[in-house]
Structure 1
Amino acid sequence: MAGGLLLALLSHTATIEMETFPGLRENRGPMVVWICGIAVLSAVAGYALQGWRSRGALVMVLLVGVVVALRLYTIAPALHCWSYDSVGRHDGAYHCVNRWE
């Protein structure tokens, strides 16, 4: 479960420059979605192994759920660029760009 929380928190570092600085960046949005999915699965598996009556495990799963939900809410505007190489950010909007075409 702690691994799921760690993954959810570390997924933030994959796209921090894409969210804060304007300009063209590598599109790591799909990677963040996969990391968040693995984090949720890890937390649920840890909860199942810990026991259904463990309150600490339930709190940890809920915490992972909140962190993942906030992470996906933050990265959601860039997810329409799923199949593009790069994402450009200008005035708060994300633009999809293929560098090699």
Structure 2
Amino acid sequence: MNSITDAEVARSTEKLLPKWDEIPQEFRNGNLYTRVADAHLHDYPLPGVSISFLPGFENEGAGEALDRCITAHLNAFAVKHEHKMAAVGYMISKICKVTVV
């Protein structure tokens, strides 16, 4: 997450997006994590969820780093929308635990 530069946030990047065939099927079909990515992309709240960082990611500044990482990848136009949403949802699942409350 911390490798995302200001230029990548401004112009986008694909550098951390996994290839389509590396993304588990449950993310390709859509799930809670891809809904979080979609909410972030369209800037709307996702009520009724709790998001917590997984061990190793809960350091100070992790929220800002995650936001920068997600934003930079969601703004990428070089990959299909479905790939981008599945990949970002998968990335979120590797960093955070999202649960319905």
TM-score range for the pair, normalised by the shorter chain length:
0.3 to 0.5
TM-score (norm 1): 0.34
The structure whose RCO (Cα within 8 Å, separation 6+) is larger is 2
TM-score (norm 2): 0.34
Structure having the higher helix fraction is 1
Report which of the two structures shows the higher radius of gyration computed on alpha carbons: 1
